[in-house]
């Protein structure tokens, strides 16, 4: 049994990650004004009126031609399948867009309870414009200000009312381990190989995995929670705000892990940055294991370090 699950879904840049962070009360998902910045599903746990539930933040659903949009759409649909209730987020500034209507079509097919919220209603005078969103077909739209948190309580009341009546909550006593390493060493490919599904977007572009992703699975009669983190790079090479948040999330992932698995590119070997990253885990008192990835690209070397 698992916690009831809420998925936050909508087109890019409507404030999904801001609302996600509001619900969790901490900065878990990368928040930036650039559309498409939330690339993978991000999981968290929250509580409202004594009821615990899981929350999924998804990348914006868009059918355009920008990089990653097709993969973001696939990941969002997987999150919808996992959810008990869907929070469909739009925004008052843009009004009802063609992209909103495309998202609505996806949600109709999901046949899940949907709570429609309209974000960015920071000015009370804009509340009258919310009635336009009835056209999306999900009943009463809830006005919301993610920036100030106004209206979030009403939204969460509606979400709790839509959750299944049975209590599916359970204590999380799984063994938690994180995958840590420099960018593009194959961490996401290793995750997918273990799980047997496209759980994390895999791309040859360095820095694709920007957030830490939690995945629970069972093996050898044990329950594990695997955390796939963004590659930690040298501080001087972290140019974008997005990358800075990703590094911070990776280091926090070490703190909440029981064991840390360091993934190293076998062709490049152990670098100084790998040693520094291992130092983070050592200082945190975490058990560690090193795995050399991408060995299929390396000729056999009898001098490989044991």
Same domain, 180 and 137: no
Q: What is the DSSP letter of 125?
A: G
Residues 169, 251, 24, 206, CA torsion sign: negative
Global pTM value = 0.59
DSSP count for the chain of H helices, then E strands: 7, 11
Domain membership of residue 33 as a residue range: 5-162
Q: Is the residue at 169 inside a domain?
A: no
- Asked if residues 278 and 250 have their Cβ atoms less than 8 Å apart, the reply is no
- C-beta separation of 202 from 208 below 8 A: yes
Task: For residue 127, give Cα distances in angstroms to 12, 195, 273.
Answer: 22, 45, 51
Q: How many other CB atoms are found less than 10 A from the CB of residue 169?
A: 16
Spatial distance between the Cα atoms of 212 and 9, rounded to a whole number of angstroms: 19
Q: What is the pLDDT of residue 238?
A: 46
The answer to whether residue 304 is domain-embedded is no
Same domain, 146 and 199: no
pLDDT, residue 1, reads 37
C-alpha 215/C-alpha 43 separation (Å) is 9
* Residue 274 tokens, joined: 């790998």
Q: pLDDT by residue for the chain (306 residues), tens digit each?
A: 357 889 999 888 898 989 998 998 866 566 666 666 655 657 778 899 999 888 888 765 666 666 667 766 776 777 788 789 999 999 999 999 998 998 899 899 888 999 999 999 988 878 889 999 999 999 999 999 988 989 999 999 999 999 998 655 456 788 988 888 777 788 778 877 887 766 666 666 656 655 666 788 888 888 888 876 655 555 555 445 445 445 556 666 777 789 988 888 888 888 776 777 677 778 777 776 655 555 454 444 544 443
Q: What is the pLDDT of residue 135?
A: 96
- Whether residue 20 is found in the same domain as residue 57: yes
Q: From the CB of residue 262, how many other CB atoms can be counted at a distance below 10 Å?
A: 22
């Amino acid at each position: 049994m698992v916690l009831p699950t809420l998925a936050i879904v909508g087109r890019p840049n409507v404030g999904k990650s801001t609302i996600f962070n509001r619900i969790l009360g901490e900065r878990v998902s990368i928040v930036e004004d650039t559309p498409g910045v939330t690339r993978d599903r991000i999981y968290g746990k929250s509580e409202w009126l004594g009821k615990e539930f899981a929350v999924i933040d998804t990348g914006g659903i868009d059918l355009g031609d920008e990089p990653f949009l097709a993969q973001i759409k696939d990941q969002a649909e997987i999150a919808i399948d996992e959810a008990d209730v869907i929070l469909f987020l739009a925004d008052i500034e843009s009004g009802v867009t063609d992209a909103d209507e495309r998202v609505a079509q996806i949600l109709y097919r999901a046949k899940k309870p949907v709570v429609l919220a309209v974000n960015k209603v920071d000015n009370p005078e804009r509340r009258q414009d919310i009635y336009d969103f009835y056209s999306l077909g999900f009943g009463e739209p809830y006005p919301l200000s993610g920036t100030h948190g106004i209206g979030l309580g009403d939204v969460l009341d509606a979400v709790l009312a839509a959750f299944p009546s049975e209590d599916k909550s359970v204590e999380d006593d799984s063994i938690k381990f994180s995958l840590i390493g420099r960018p593009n060493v194959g961490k996401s490919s290793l995750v997918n190989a273990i799980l047997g599904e496209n759980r994390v977007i895999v791309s040859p572009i360095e820095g694709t995995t920007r957030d830490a992703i939690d995945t629970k699975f069972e093996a050898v009669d044990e329950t594990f929670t695997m955390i796939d983190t963004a590659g930690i790079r040298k501080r001087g090479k972290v140019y974008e705000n997005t990358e800075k948040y990703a590094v911070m999330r990776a280091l926090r992932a070490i703190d909440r892990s029981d064991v840390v698995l360091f993934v190293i590119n076998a062709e490049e070997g152990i670098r100084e940055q790998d040693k520094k990253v291992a130092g983070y885990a050592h200082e945190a008192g975490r058990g560690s294991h090193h795995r050399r990835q991408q060995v299929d690209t390396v000729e056999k070397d009898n001098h490989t370090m044991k």
